[in-house]
Amino acid sequence: METLLEFGRTRFGGTVGIIAVLHTWDQTLNDHFHLHCLIPAGALSLDQSRWIAARPNFLFAVKALSVVFRGKFLDLLTQAGENGRIETPSEGIKALRKKHWIVYAKKPFGSPPHRAGLPRPLHPSRRSVQ
């Protein structure tokens, strides 16, 4: 999520919202750690005074996101190994640095009229303020 927040600050000069779900296995119950993230199409300005909208079909460059995420992840993995928190064979880290990492991004769900399918507490027009 650090990478997504950084991209939001760089691209929009603001803070993106993120809902993330960690999955730890695939459909056949093999280890397959990955995140699913839901991000609004824009960001809240750093002074929290306005919304900065993204272009309709573009949020972040997916290839750049892959490269930056891989670098951050492997740096943290290396640090954890150096601090003795986990065993990290240097050969394994080197191999992971050469491997192509995939960030998959879907097209946007749509604009506000498409939010009709949201559950009652999540739809903006149905929130109660107390």
Q: Sketch the domain layout of the chain as residue ranges.
A: 1-60, 61-104
91 confidence band (pLDDT: 50, 70, 90): confident
> Quick one: pLDDT at residue 45?
94
User: What pLDDT, on a 0 to 100 scale, did the predictor assign at position 107?
Assistant: 75
- Region 52-69: mean pLDDT is 89
Q: pLDDT tens digits, residue range 38-50?
A: 898 899 999 999 9
Report the b/e string of 41-72 with b at 16+ CB within 10 A. bbbbeeeeeeebebeeeebbeeeebbebbbee
The three-state (H, E, C) secondary structure of 4-21, written as one string: HHHHHHHHHCEECCCEEE
Quick check: 52 and 43 in contact, CB under 8 A? yes
At 112, the pLDDT band (50, 70, 90 cuts) reads low
pLDDT of residue 43: 93
- How big is the CA angle at 104 (ends 98 and 106), to the nearest 5 degrees? 165
